[in-house]
Amino acid sequence: MNELTPPSFNPPSGAQVRAVHDAFHGDLLEVSMGPHHPSTHGVFRMMVTLDGETIVKLKPVFGYLHRNHEKLGENTTYLSSMPYTDRLDYLNSMTNNWAYALAVEKLAGQSVPERAEYLRVILAELTRLLNHTCLAGFLLQDCGASGTPLMYAFREREKILDLFEALSGSRMMCNYQRFGGCRVDPSPEWLTAAQSLTDGYGRFLDEYESLITQNEILMARTQGVGVLSPALAVSAGVTGPMLRATGVNYDLRKVDAYGFYPRFPFRVPLGDHGDTYDRYMIRILEMRESITILQQAFRTLPSGPIIDPKAKLRGFRPKPGEAYGRIEGPKGEIGFYLISDGSPNPYRYRVRPPSLVNLTILEDLCLGQTLADAVIILGSIDIVLGEVDR
C-alpha cells in the first residue's frame, strides 16, 4: 500500500452478533480516551468511535505537553539546548544527547576521540536496555497485570539509573554528551559496576521471560493484535523496533554505521508478523544483543581523552550551513536538523521525534480491534509524550 487509501473496516466475526430488537442498534459511540487515562503513558488523547466494542475510527489528539521545544532551541545557544534534549524522551536522555551532539558535530565538522565514542555506545546501549525493560513492564501493565511485572522491570531500571546518577549526577536528565566528546570520564569503579550489571542482565531477562513470554494471557491478548504490514510501516516512516517487528531490516546502527558500531558484531532481530507480540519479542531480543555489544565495549574500552581538546563549548559558533544527524534511539530514528547562520544560536533547530511519527499508523492498527486492544497497541508503539508534543 503505497498510496494513501482509506483503511478498510473488517470487524472480527464475533462483532457481528447483535441483538435484533436493540434500541441502540447501529448507533456509534464516541469515547474520548485521555488525556488523563493511565494507559496513555502521559497526556495523550484518543478520540475513539466505537461500534459496540469495536473501533471504527480513532483520531489521536496531541499537544497537551507542547512547549515549543524547537523555538526554545532557536532562542538559546547550541550548548544550552543540550539539557533541553533530556526532556524530549525523558526515559532516554543519553540517546537524545547523542543525536543532538552528532548533528552539531556534523554541522561543525568536529571529531570525537575514541574513548568518547566507546562511552557513547556503552551509554546508548544501557539506555536501550532501560527503555525496553520499561516497555516490557508497561505492556504487561496495560494487559492488566497490575504491579508485579512492572515492578520487576523497574527494579532493573533502577540499577541502570543508579549508574547514570553516579556518572552524570542525575538519574534521568543526564546532560552527558558534549560536542566533540563526553562530559565526565567514568571511574574504574563505575566501569566495574556497569560491567557486572551487564553480565547479570541476561539472568534478569531469563527470569522475566520465563514468567512472561510464554504466558497464555499475554499470547492471547497480543498475538494477531494490531498487525502492521511492512509496506505501510515503510511508507509511514515507522522506525525502530516497531519497524523491525514487521520484518524490515533497517537499523541505523548498521545502515549509517555511526559511532563505533561497526566495531561490534551484533545481530538485528527481525519479526515475522508485525503484531503486538512480535513487537514485545523484538525488544527482548534487542536487549540480548545490547548485552553482547556492551560486553564487547567494556572488554575493549581504550584509555585516552574523552573530549576533543579543540572542541569549543562556550562561544561556539558554527559556520553557516545545515546538517541532519540521526541515530537509532530505543524508540526509532531520532534526528536533529540544524541550520546555522553563523550566530551563537541555531537559526533552525528541529527534532525528528520517533514517537510522533510512529503514531501515524495508530488508527490503522486499531481499526477493527476492541477498545481494550487499543490500550495494548498504544503501549507496544512505545511513546513518550515529552517527545511527541515537544
Partner 1 sequence: METLEHLRDRLATAFPRSEVVIVNNPSPSAQHSLLISADHARVIARHLRDEADLQFDYCSNVTGIDWPEKEIIETIKPAQTDPAGGAAVGTEQKIKRLQPGYLEVVYHLYSMALGHGPVILRLRTLNRADRVELPSLTPVWRSCEFQEREIFDLFGVLFSDHPDLRRILMWDEFKDHPMRKDYVEPDDYEWEPTPHGPVLAKAKVHYAALTPVAAAALGTTPASSSAPAPMSTPGPIASPAGGPAIALPLAVETPPITKAPATAQSPTLNPAAPSAAPRP
Calculate the CA dihedral of residues 354, 357, 359, 362 and round it to 10 degrees: -130
Residue in the structure block whose three cell numbers are 534521568: 172
Cα four-point dihedral sign 65, 67, 71, 77: negative
Min. distance of Cβ 103 from partner 1 in angstroms?
9
* Site membership for partner 1, residue 267 (CB under 8 A): no
Min. distance of Cβ 348 from partner 1 in angstroms?
5
* Site membership for partner 1, residue 324 (CB under 8 A): yes
* Site membership for partner 1, residue 68 (CB under 8 A): yes
Nearer to partner 1, 260 or 324 (CB): 324
* Site membership for partner 1, residue 344 (CB under 8 A): no
Nearer to partner 1, 126 or 357 (CB): 357
The single-letter DSSP state of residue 305 is: -
Report whether 234 contacts 248 (CB < 8 A): yes
| The only residue of 146, 147, 319, 343 in contact with partner 1, by rule CB under 8 A | 319
* Site membership for partner 1, residue 190 (CB under 8 A): no
| The only residue of 86, 156, 275, 389 in contact with partner 1, by rule CB under 8 A | 389
Min. distance of Cβ 389 from partner 1 in angstroms?
6
Nearer to partner 1, 66 or 267 (CB): 66
* Site membership for partner 1, residue 2 (CB under 8 A): yes
Write out the DSSP string of 35-76. SS-GGGSSS-EEEEEEETTEEEEEEEE--TT---HHHHHHTS
Min. distance of Cβ 247 from partner 1 in angstroms?
12
| Residues near 148 by beta carbon (within 8 Å), at least 6 away in sequence | none
Residues 198-257 within binding reach of partner 1 (CB under 8 A): 232, 234-239, 248, 250, 255
Cα gap 144→363, rounded to integer Å: 22
Min. distance of Cβ 66 from partner 1 in angstroms?
4
Query: Strand 45-51 vs strand 54-61: parallel, antiparallel, or unpaired?
Result: antiparallel
Other C-beta atoms lying within 10 Å of the C-beta of residue 200: 13
Nearer to partner 1, 115 or 326 (CB): 326
Nearer to partner 1, 73 or 379 (CB): 73
Instruction: Give the x-and-dash track for 72-111 against partner 1 (CB under 8 A).
Output: ----------------------------------xxxx--
Nearer to partner 1, 207 or 272 (CB): 272
Min. distance of Cβ 333 from partner 1 in angstroms?
6
Q: Which of 218, 267, 270 is nearest to 246 (CA)?
A: 270
| The only residue of 153, 174, 323, 375 in contact with partner 1, by rule CB under 8 A | 323
Report whether 376 contacts 222 (CB < 8 A): yes
Other C-beta atoms lying within 10 Å of the C-beta of residue 172: 16
| The only residue of 63, 144, 262, 265 in contact with partner 1, by rule CB under 8 A | 63
Nearer to partner 1, 356 or 374 (CB): 356
Min. distance of Cβ 262 from partner 1 in angstroms?
14
Other C-beta atoms lying within 10 Å of the C-beta of residue 359: 19
The dihedrals phi and psi of 27, each to the nearest 5 degrees, come to -75, 140
Distances (CA, A) of 152 to 155, 195, 367: 5, 20, 32
* Site membership for partner 1, residue 32 (CB under 8 A): no
Nearer to partner 1, 106 or 115 (CB): 106
Distances (CA, A) of 336 to 68, 78, 103, 110, 258: 15, 12, 6, 16, 14
